[in-house]
Amino acid sequence: MLPYFITALGGVLIGNSISHGSIFAKGGVVNLQEIISIKEINLEDEDYKIVRRKQSKKFDKIELYSKYKNQNTFYGTLLYKNVPIYTPTFKSKMINDRNQLFAFSGTNRDIADAVLKGEKPFGSLVEVYSSEEEKAKSDSFFNDVINECIDKNLEYYLGKEDKKWSRGVSRRVLQICHKGTFGKLFDLDALINDYEVAYEDGWEQDITIRSISNRKLSYYLKNDWDDMVVITGLILGIPPYYTMSLLISGYSFDLNKIWKQT
């Protein structure tokens, strides 16, 4: 999971669109000015709105709002500050806004389908269970996904069962990914160009990105992920402008702040 720069949002979106009457938990009204785009994304259990808003001449900010299927109100969930404004040259079907939601939301089926459909490079499917019946369901799900991976010619690795994961609860992880090296799966030259254009210290990412050109994505099925946000973003299929936002703003989990539009 990516280390997110998180600001707790108290704002709400009403119904199927942003409402002028949307009220923050501690007062204040959502300002609807300077909105650039709104993307709607539907997962199995939750619906999301990704709102991109003008911040300054060089940067935007992206606000995430979410609701469960049985709710009518979208609550502010996450804020990305200092999102660079640029025209991306790096593009891939496997790199999209939906994938960054999987870092904290979505079901195992959602994640598996995204990888199987070629919309996500890599997926970690975590099953926990506390009874033989639940274990049987998890085993059946994993077997189904493994068979689908074989049909699609994808790589997979089923880890050992951790029977002591929590008191009375066992855990098992199935990791799946596309075959090939980073250099074959992605246009790394275009990615490097985008970092150099949009991110002040983008040149520093050149060596990092080139260092994995010949590395197979499947390397990370059995090995720990590098402690580098740029590589983690690629593995998860997250658009670079989110990663740049994290690099620029640093990491903070100050959940006491309520974001207010100024």
With beta carbons less than 8 A apart as the criterion, state whether 47 and 66 touch. Answer: yes
> Two tokens at 60?
């935007």
Which helix (DSSP H) or strand (DSSP E) does residue 209 occupy?
helix 205-210
pLDDT at 33: 66
Distances in whole angstroms, Cα of residue 117 to Cα of each of 6, 8, 17, 145: 30, 33, 29, 12
For residue 67, what pLDDT band results from cuts at 50, 70 and 90? Answer: confident
Structure-block tokens of residue 149: 């991976």
The pTM of the whole model exceeds 0.75? yes
Q: Where would I find the beta strands (DSSP E) of the chain?
A: 12-14, 35-42, 46-54, 59-68, 73-84, 122-129, 155-158, 162-166, 169-177
Q: What is the mean pLDDT of the chain?
A: 82
CA distance 235 to 151: 22
DSSP element (H, E) containing 182: helix 182-185
Poorest-pLDDT segment among 54-68, 158-172, 246-260: 246-260
pLDDT above 80 (res 244):
yes
Select from 221, 240, 238 the least CA-distant residue to 84. 240
Residue 127 has pLDDT above 90, yes or no: yes
Which of 28-42, 48-62, 143-157 has the weakest average pLDDT?
28-42
Q: 84 pairs with which residues across the strands?
A: 59
pLDDT value at 129 more than 80: yes
Neighbour count for residue 189 (Cβ, 10 Å):
14
pLDDT at 255: 25
Question: Rounded to the nearest 5 degrees, what angle is found at the Cα of 65, between the Cα atoms of 40 and 54?
Answer: 85
* SS3 call for 229: helix
Q: Under a CB-based contact definition with an 8 Å cutoff, are residues 117 and 97 in contact?
A: no
Polymer length of the chain? 262
Task: Kindly state the average pLDDT of the residues 134-138.
Answer: 95
Mean pLDDT for 82-105 is 92
What does the block give as tokens for 228? 């580098």
φ, ψ dihedrals at 176, nearest 5° = -135, 150
